[in-house]
């Protein structure tokens, strides 16, 4: 029965309540009293601690949660990595003591290849995670970043390094020696030499790592404490460097066979001379400076009076806050019990560690006093930023005069004021005094070696007047005894990264000394092995048409293959194959116009690398067929394992195709690719696209070529056609062994405000339709590859069009491609990106074989929850709500035994087997790609918001209102979204949410039935206007 409606208006706005906060165009100027503005500012304020700190330091009691401003989530890390310019001869790399290949591993982070990034980092810095957390990057890599010259500022290199290594740490992958090196059994007896390293800090860890990678098998580290890590463990607080990080770095060293002997103190249990007498052929001294530099006014004072040095304070803080570090009972590992006011003396990183640690030990007010001006603080800005954020107070221009003690307790400290004279020298003004009431004083003036028995125990290593070891700057070798080496704190390089580099330098010095002592010459230029793991041993070769590709990554027939020497350099970098720039017979030679290759407008205001598309109106190669045939012959001679594909083009002339195909075959090419798809220029000459849009023409050309060559022949398909499958079928019928999909998409990229196109040629500013390449073409390429693979099962496909990472390459493999061709990604960067792709693909295959990593999405770890999820509170992070969260955190940590926190041990997974092959991934997704009518309408999903991850932006709410179903409420007070029962599961909210995994789609609990709000009017309604 039909129903009639006369009163209901379907276009009237509904859901007025839901739409209350939806953006609208203003029709009048907004009027609001300032008083109300102040109230609203207070309610919505997020930077509560900016300028006016709301959190007193005492709120941080026992809270050793990470507070580093550089720490990044995965979302932030990938966005930050995408900002990096990946500069040539990058200054950041020159400014890193360990000379990290910064641009390479940042590229890998951008592409989600976290193992690859960590491998590159750990290859040059075995303490890569520690350094990512505590490096003074402002003075090093970040201080030299070219983007510091731009408005957006330098890259957060330390945070990116921390993120990559921390993510890799969670994978529990063991290190191994590179099997390309001689096996331990094959090495000469000199590699059995006994090597001793004194101190288990970063310098010794670094030196021992490289020596173990080289193949030395009798390496022993002597450590006086029962824990590892040296000063990194004992004097850098947990909230900057967690102990499980140090354990992981040491754990990887133990995996390489290095032995640790604990409770062995230099000068007490042994001397350097003792080690030499025990047969150690090389000795590395990597101890920290053990004694604090102090001031005479503190003579006779100790902890019972309220006086600490950094050497007596920070190790106790670490022992009481780092789970797994101290094996003693809880009472012995208690934090220092502070209260009231604390003055820290010094202006270095250690002083600021003491200051911020004081709050966590109970202090309510903390001063940092130093004799210089505030701009001349020696501590890195990252450390100072933490201290100021936590409400530490700075006392510049002071130097201690006397400490006042009453009833055996420090009651106050008196300072002289200092002044900087015209020569830049600081002078003490004894007539200008400052007295401050304090309960504790912590001096952090630096460290030294004064203990004569310890100095004597180092002999024959000499200690100079400044308390530092005398060794060569390059080899770290003692001039008094060539078997002794030293580095790190004892050499005056007190930062973790400098100590690490000293150990790295010393490792080659030790290696050279030992081998030459045994009559074996070694290169003058160091050749230290890279980090290696089982992932690196995975075979990613693939066979297609009887041709074996060492890996599935090749250069497309485009600008990266402009000349043969470019292909040579690409093979040297690791590319598996290359397709020559398309060449023709001499009678069809061309000349290019300019400008001809431009950035795509699809990238928006993104400049520099990372362009999502390019447009070109470049033609085929300007070089002769003779040049290319000679080049192919030379390349195959020098790189017999690499695949060279000859790309050729002719008009629809049988004799031309036969002649050119014969030339290319005789050159020694492995495969022929027929370019029947160039979308501009060549088609007007009767070539390229003109030959590739008609099935019968394609079939004929393939028959001509196959008749004169024994090589596999591929037809390069154009996307500029209604259905690419028709051309693929025609190519197969003509005898093609496979197809390449796809060539560039014919496009008009950009029209400027004056109506001129870009690129525009000549004074007339004319243009033509060009070929668009890059990531913007990837969805089209995947569609055409998968549709071809489903239409022609088993038919080989070389995929191209938007491959810029291992993740993207895997998508192409799953869609049916056997190998992938790449161009735009190289235009965005350089040939070295292939290392990213190779490592990323190997890691993907490895992780497929790890049951314990099945919850990961590729290399993307599952989301983790903070303490507010643990205590069951999901409340906003602004205004009074932020204060409530802080109170909850304060209560949580105050009641918690921080030493009972889970200490994640290093638990490497060995013996991973049944690793899938590249071939097993080809076409893996095809059984789930089909027609719309194959989809099950009964399996519906709805959106679910994680309120703890939500940043309250309302993007989900807006898109649902103006592009969806008005199914999301937005609270006017909390700005938390609420999904209503009207949700149809369209997923637009997920698509625009700026926080990954904040909104997920979950199965609908009740059956899905399209009802009136969706239908508009019930089916069968009689239409009445």
Active site residues: 678
Q: CB within 8 A of 35, min separation 6: which ones?
A: none
Residue 520: name the closest of 530, 512, 509 by CA.
512
Q: Which residues pair with 410 in a beta bridge?
A: 405
Q: Give the residues across from 485 on adjacent strands.
A: 284, 477
CB 400 within 8 A of CB 345: yes
17: tokens are 């309540």
Strand partners, 365: 341
Measured distance between the N- and C-terminal CA atoms of the chain, rounded to whole angstroms:
19
Please tell me whether residue 91 adopts helix, strand or coil conformation.
helix
Q: What is the rounded distance in angstroms from the CA atom of residue 781 to the CA atom of residue 556?
A: 14
φ and ψ at residue 943, rounded to 5 degrees: -80, 150
**Residue that has been written with the tokens 């076409």 in this structure:** 923
- State the DSSP code for 926: G
Which pair of structure tokens corresponds to residue 980? 């209503």
**Tokens found for residue 1025:** 């206007």
State the CB neighbour count (10 A cutoff) for residue 1011: 9
CA distances from 578 to 499, 645, 667, 798, 806 (A): 43, 6, 15, 12, 17
Name 241's Cβ contacts closer than 8 Å, sequence gap at least 6. 130, 133, 134, 232, 233
Would you tell me how many other CB atoms lie within 10 Å of the CB of residue 453? 10
Q: Which one, of 542, 555, 773, 779, lies nearest residue 678 by Cα? A: 773
Give the position of tokens 């890996």.
551
Query: Cα angle vertex 818, ends 711, 919, to 5°?
Result: 115
> Minimal CA–CA distance to 561: which of 776, 742, 827, 740?
827
Residues forming a β-bridge with 395: 369
Helices vs strands, H then E, count in the chain: 31, 35
- The interaxial angle of helices 349-360 and 381-389, nearest 10 deg, is 20
Q: What is the DSSP letter of 292?
A: E
Phi, psi of 609 (to 5 degrees): -70, 170
Is residue 771 within a helix (H) or strand (E), and if so which, with residue range?
A: strand 770-773
C-alpha dihedral, 750 to 756 to 758 to 763, nearest 10°? 170
Between CA 246 and CA 233 the distance in angstroms is 7
**DSSP state letter for 952:** -
742: Cβ contacts below 8 Å, ≥ 6 apart: 677, 717, 718, 719, 724, 777, 780, 781, 784, 785, 800, 801
Neighbours of 362 (CB within 10 A): 19
Q: Which residues pair with 999 in a beta bridge?
A: 945
Three-point CA angle 305, 308, 314, nearest 5°? 140
**How many CB atoms sit inside 10 A of residue 888's CB?**
16
CA distances in angstroms from 326 to 244, 847, 849, listed in the order given:
12, 34, 36
Distance (Å, whole) CA 995 – CA 315: 39
β pairing state of 597-599 and 307-309: unpaired
Q: Find tokens 């109230």 and name the residue.
A: 39
Give the integer Cα–Cα distance in Å for 201 and 715: 60
CA distance 405 to 411: 5
């Amino acid at each position: 029965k039909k129903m009639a409606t006369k009163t209901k208006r379907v276009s009237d706005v509904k859901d007025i309540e839901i739409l209350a906060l939806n953006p609208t165009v203003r029709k009048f100027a907004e009027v609001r009293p300032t008083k109300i503005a102040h109230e609203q500012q207070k309610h919505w304020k997020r930077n509560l601690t900016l300028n006016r700190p709301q959190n007193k330091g005492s709120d941080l009691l026992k809270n050793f949660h990470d507070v580093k401003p550089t720490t990044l989530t995965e979302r932030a890390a990938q966005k930050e990595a995408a900002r990096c310019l990946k500069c040539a001869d990058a200054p950041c790399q020159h400014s890193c003591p360990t000379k990290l290949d910064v641009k390479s591993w940042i590229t890998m982070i951008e592409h989600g290849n976290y193992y690859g990034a960590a491998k590159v980092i750990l290859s040059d810095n075995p303490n890569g995670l520690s350094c990512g957390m505590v490096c003074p990057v402002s003075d090093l890599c970040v201080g030299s970043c070219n983007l510091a010259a731009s408005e957006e500022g330098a890259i957060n290199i330390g945070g990116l390094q921390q993120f990559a290594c921390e993510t890799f740490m969670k994978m529990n992958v063991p290190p191994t020696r590179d099997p390309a090196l001689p096996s331990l059994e094959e090495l000469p007896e000199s590699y059995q030499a006994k090597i001793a390293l004194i101190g288990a800090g970063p310098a010794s860890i670094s030196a021992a790592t490289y020596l173990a990678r080289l193949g030395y098998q009798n390496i022993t580290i002597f450590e006086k404490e029962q824990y590892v890590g040296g000063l990194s463990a004992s004097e850098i607080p947990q909230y900057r460097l967690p102990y499980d990080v140090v354990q992981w770095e040491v754990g990887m060293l133990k995996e390489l066979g290095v032995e640790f002997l604990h409770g062995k103190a230099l000068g007490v249990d042994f001397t350097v001379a003792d080690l030499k007498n025990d047969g150690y052929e090389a000795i590395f001294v990597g101890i920290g400076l053990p004694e604090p530099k102090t001031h005479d006014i503190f003579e006779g004072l100790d902890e019972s009076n309220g006086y600490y040095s950094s050497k007596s304070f920070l190790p106790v803080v670490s022992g009481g806050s780092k789970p797994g570090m101290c094996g003693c009972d809880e009472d012995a590992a208690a934090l220092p019990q502070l209260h009231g006011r604390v003055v820290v003396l010094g202006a270095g990183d250690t002083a600021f560690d003491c200051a911020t640690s004081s709050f966590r030990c109970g202090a309510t007010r903390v001063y940092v006093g130093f004799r210089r001006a505030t701009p001349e603080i020696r501590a890195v800005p990252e450390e100072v930023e933490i201290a100021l954020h936590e409400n530490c107070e700075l006392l510049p221009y002071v130097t201690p005069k006397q400490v006042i003690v009453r009833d055996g307790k420090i009651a106050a400290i008196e300072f002289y004021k200092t002044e900087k004279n015209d020569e830049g020298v600081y002078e003490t003004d004894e007539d200008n005094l400052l007295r401050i009431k304090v309960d504790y004083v912590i001096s952090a003036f630096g460290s030294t070696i004064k203990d004569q028995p310890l100095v004597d125990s180092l002999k024959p290593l000499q200690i100079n007047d400044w308390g530092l070891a005398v060794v060569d700057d390059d080899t770290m070798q003692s001039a008094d005894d060539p078997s002794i080496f030293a580095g790190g704190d004892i050499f005056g390089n007190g930062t973790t990264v400098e100590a690490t580099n000293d150990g790295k330098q010393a490792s080659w010095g030790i290696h050279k000394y030992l081998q030459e002592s045994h009559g074996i010459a070694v290169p003058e230029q160091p050749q230290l092995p890279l980090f290696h793991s089982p992932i690196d041993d995975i075979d990613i070769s693939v066979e297609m048409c009887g041709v074996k590709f060492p890996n599935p990554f090749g250069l497309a027939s485009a600008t990266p293959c402009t000349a043969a020497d470019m292909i040579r350099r690409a093979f040297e970098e690791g590319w598996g194959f290359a397709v020559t720039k398309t060449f023709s017979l001499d009678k069809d030679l061309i000349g290019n116009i300019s400008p001809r290759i431009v950035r795509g407008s699809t990238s928006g205001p993104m400049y520099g690398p990372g362009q999502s598309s390019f447009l070109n109106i470049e033609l085929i190669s300007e070089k002769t067929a003779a040049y290319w045939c000679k080049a192919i012959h030379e390349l195959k001679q020098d790189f017999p394992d690499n695949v060279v594909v000859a790309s050729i083009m002719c008009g629809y002339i049988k004799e031309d195709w036969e002649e050119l195909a014969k030339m290319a075959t005789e050159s020694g090419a492995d495969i022929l690719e027929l370019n029947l798809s160039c979308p501009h220029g060549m088609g007007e000459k009767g070539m390229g696209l003109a030959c590739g849009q008609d099935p019968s023409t394609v079939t004929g050309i393939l028959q001509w070529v196959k008749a004169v060559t024994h090589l596999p022949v591929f037809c390069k398909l154009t996307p500029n056609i209604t259905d690419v499958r028709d051309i693929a079928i025609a190519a197969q019928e003509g005898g093609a062994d496979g197809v390449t999909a796809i060539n560039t998409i014919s496009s008009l990229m950009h029209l400027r405000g004056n109506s001129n196109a870009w690129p525009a040629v000549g004074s007339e500013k004319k243009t033509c339709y060009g070929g668009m390449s890059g990531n913007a073409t990837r969805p089209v390429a995947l569609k055409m590859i998968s549709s071809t693979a489903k239409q022609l099962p088993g038919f080989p496909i070389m995929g191209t069009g938007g491959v810029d990472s291992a993740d993207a390459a895997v998508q192409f493999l799953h869609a049916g491609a056997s190998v992938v061709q790449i161009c735009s990604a190289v235009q965005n960067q350089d040939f070295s990106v292939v290392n990213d792709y190779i490592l990323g693909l190997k890691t993907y295959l490895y992780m497929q074989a790890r049951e314990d990593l099945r919850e990961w999405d590729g290399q993307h770890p599952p989301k983790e929850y903070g303490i507010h999820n643990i205590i069951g509170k999901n409340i906003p992070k602004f205004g009074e709500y932020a204060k409530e969260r802080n109170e909850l955190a304060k209560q949580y940590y105050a009641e918690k035994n921080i030493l009972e926190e889970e200490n994640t041990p290093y638990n490497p997974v060995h013996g991973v087997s049944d690793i899938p092959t590249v071939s097993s991934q080809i076409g893996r997704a095809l059984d789930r790609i089909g027609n719309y009518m194959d989809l099950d309408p009964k399996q519906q999903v709805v959106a679910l918001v994680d309120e703890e991850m939500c940043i309250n932006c309302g993007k989900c709410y807006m898109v649902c209102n103006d592009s969806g179903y008005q199914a999301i409420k937005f609270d006017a007070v909390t700005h938390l979204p609420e999904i209503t029962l009207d949700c149809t599961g369209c997923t637009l909210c997920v698509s625009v949410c700026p926080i990954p995994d904040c909104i997920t789609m979950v199965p609908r609990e009740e059956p899905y039935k399209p009802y009136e709000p969706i239908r508009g009017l019930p089916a069968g309604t009689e239409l009445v206007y």
